[in-house]
Structure 1
Amino acid sequence: MLQEFIRAMFLIFMAEMGDKTQILAIAFATKYKVKKVLMGIFIGSLLNHGLAVILGAYLSTLIPIQTIQIIAGFSFVVFALWSLKLEEDAEKEKKKENFGAVITVAIAFFIGELGDKTQLTTIMLAADARFPFIILMGTVSGMVITGGLGIIVGSKLGDKIPELAIKLVSASIFMFFGVTKLYAALPTAYINQVSLTIFALLLSGTTAWMLVPLFKIHKQGKLSAFKQTAKELYAFYHQMNQQMNHICLGESKCGACQKNNCIIGYTKTLIKKGNDGEETTQLYHLIDLQKSLSKNYDRDKIIEGLGITLKFIKYYQGSEDELDAVNQIRQNLEMLLFNKHIDEVKNLAKYIKYIEQIDSKAADQLIANM
């Protein structure tokens, strides 16, 4: 029983490492609390894999177990090659919030995993299992762990994610399970020197064909959407944290630190929560920070920080949901400069023109900083 659980969890974990599940988890974690995202992943995966387990268990009553094992063996080999597939940058779909965070994430993961290799893997595992329910728990646990790790890795490690290594390890594990299962399940009449040679040549040739573009992209240093998102957000938050340290007056001039009761401290909290993938919506109302706005901050440093933020927004190619914390940081800097904030930046040229009406000198400095 425990062996089936660990095997199912491990296979799903390796199948989804670096896959769209982690990208989707990061996207949702920028908008919702991490706990709600993980709960949504759990519910969506439970429903999706529950269907797979039922189908897999039903198959075992219709098809001889040896045939199922052979199908499973070939499936794992296919999944190994699938893991080496060069994915195009996945689109992070904008999900409506009509049903709340947990249900929104659950629906996204249920639909996103339909027909995916993890669902097919679950079918194969359940068809060959003594305890299908344990398989379900194992696969769902693997999905939740992978999603959670994706959120942590994306927010903490930035450009240090070993994406190519993950794909190679994942493919190797599926290949190992597939080949060993085929060797154990196929009739001995089919296991001879000729068939083994043909199989080895086809498999090695296909694997080499799949690996060439992967190594080419790796050599060129190109980044996937997953790595690019993590790298850009990590760099921005790190730079802005340093900038806020320059703007902060310090206790020698400002007195005891007020933390979130000061707009500088509150902005630092936004930066930390954004970098950690935590929810940042409506932590405080800007009007509550009015007292700290009247202090003698370095205006040039504030404009420099706003320029950094606007430049990031201008060139960022990721999901708009990931800009929630960034836009709140922008609004705080606007409050420091103009004692008012702008709700959104849809067009940068129009934004600059609006700033010119408020403070032409600041607008000129912003353009210079961008």
Structure 2
Amino acid sequence: MEAFLVSTGIVALGEMGDKTQLLALLLAARFRRPLPIILGILVATLVNHACAAAVGDWIARALGPDVLRWVIGGSFLAVAAWMLVPDRLDDEAEGSGRLRLGVFGTTVVAFFLAEMGDKTQIATVALAARYTDLWAVVTGTTFGMMLANVPAVLLGDGVAKRVSMRLVHGIAALLFAVLGVLTLFNVGHLL
């Protein structure tokens, strides 16, 4: 349960103001069809985070426990610093303007590609390396992604204008930094 809750919280906070959340807002404004957008986000996130968790699990098995502790701790600290850099939607993520795959297909492809190398994907790799329960990590990170993006799709721009992204990013950065320090000092029983 711990892996699920930590994964959910980390990704939900980390996703606030992230480029994929901005992509959710863009898709919602453009297509005005929330259900296929939400389902597309879910499918893309499950596939992406399952692959990321598999990489994290492989890293955990390939490295010794001491090296792994430093890699995970350093990864959490790096993501903490990265959280303080605001995201913007990349031009190529906006698409060509022509809808060939339908709303669902466009959302799946756009989200999957936007998540590649993103903070939440790197966090999923680190969480899967940290926790042995991959199912809990993948479901937690996916649930966290949905917690952040479904309101963006349903409520759109109004929510984004009322929530201080700087504060949310600061809180997420602090959580990542705490996880990094606790991991580096091998304080696993507190997580």
Q: Name the structure 2 match of 1:139.
A: 141
Partner of 1:20: 19
Q: Which residue of 2 aligns with 1:71?
A: 71
Q: Which residue of 1 aligns with 2:2?
A: 3
Q: Distance in 2 between matches of 1:171 and 1:144?
A: 20
Q: Amino acid of the residue matched to residue 170 of structure 2? A: L
Q: Which whole-Å deviations, capped at 9, do the CAs of 1:124-165 have from their partners, x for residues lacking one?
A: 111222211221111111111111122345343463221221
Report if aligned partners of 1:53, 1:127 keep a CA contact under 8 Å in 2: yes
Tell me which residue corresponds to 1:115.
117
What residue identity is the alignment partner of 1:63? L
Once the two structures are TM-superposed, the CA of residue 4 in structure 1 deviates from its matched residue by 0.7
1:153–1:161 Cα contact (<8 Å) kept: no
* Greater fraction of residues in helix: 2
Matched residue, 1:288: none
Residues 32 and 101 in structure 1, CA contact (< 8 A), matched pair in contact too: no
Q: Distance in 1 between matches of 2:101 and 2:176?
A: 37
Q: CA deviation at 1:43?
A: 0.7
Question: Counterpart amino acid of 1:180?
Answer: L
CA offsets, 1:163-212, max 9 Å, x none? Answer: 22112111111111111111227xxxxxxxxxxxxxxxxxxxxxxxxxxx
Percentage of identical aligned residues = 27
Equivalent residue number for residue 222 of structure 1: none
- Report the RMSD for the aligned CA atoms in angstroms: 1.9
2:131 to 129, 132, 135: 129
Aligned to 1:318: none
Question: Paired residue for 1:94?
Answer: 95
> Considering only CA atoms, is the larger Rg found in Structure 1 or Structure 2?
1
- The one-letter amino acid of 1:183's match is F
**Structure 1 residues 153 and 175: alpha-carbon distance in aligned structure 2, compared to 1, 3 A threshold:** farther
1:180 to 179, 182, 185: 182
- Residue matched to 2:55: 55
Q: What does residue range 326-365 of structure 1 map to in structure 2 within 5 Å?
A: none
Deviation of 1:88 (Å)? 4.8
Q: Where in structure 1 are there 5+ consecutive unaligned residues?
A: 186-370
Contact 1:48 1:119 in 2 (8 A): yes
TM-superposition CA deviations, 1:220-241 (whole Å, max 9, x none): xxxxxxxxxxxxxxxxxxxxxx
Query: Aligned equivalents of 2:183 and 2:160: distance in 1?
Result: 38
Q: Using a 3 Å threshold, how does the CA distance of structure 1 residues 154 and 100 change in structure 2: closer, same or farther?
A: closer
Matched-pair contact (CA < 8 Å) for 2:22–2:88: no
Other structure's SS at 1:184 match: coil
What's the offset of the Cα at 1:90?
Answer: 4.2
Q: Which runs of 4+ in 1 moved over 4 A?
A: none
Task: Check 1:160–1:19 CA distance in 2 against 1; reply closer, same or farther (3 A cut).
Answer: same
Deviation of 1:32 after TM superposition, in Å, equals 4.0
Structure with the bigger RCO (C-alpha within 8 Å, sep 6+) is 2
Q: Which residue identity does 2:183 align to in structure 1? A: K
1:88 to 1:64, Cα distance in 2 relative to 1, 3 A: same
Contact map agreement 1:80 1:173 (CA 8 A) in 2 = yes
2:109 is paired with a residue whose SS is helix
User: TM-score of the superposition, structure 2-length normalised?
Assistant: 0.87
Q: Determine the C-alpha separation between the residues in 2 that align with 1:114 and 1:159.
A: 26
Distance 1:131 1:94, change over 3 A: same
Secondary structure in structure 1 of the residue aligned to 2:99: coil
Work out whether residues 52 and 124 of structure 2, in 8 Å CA contact, stay in contact via their aligned partners in 1: yes
Contact 1:60–1:128 (Cα < 8 Å) also in 2? yes
Identify if the C-alpha distance between structure 1 residues 152 and 166 changes in structure 2 by more than 3 Å, giving closer, same or farther.
farther
- SS at 2:132's partner residue? coil
Unaligned runs of 5+ in 2: none
The number of residue pairs the alignment matches comes to 184
TM-score w.r.t. the length of structure 1 is: 0.47
- TM-superposition CA deviations, 1:24-56 (whole Å, max 9, x none): 001111214212111101111111111111111
What amino acid is the match of 1:94? G
Aligned to 1:310: none
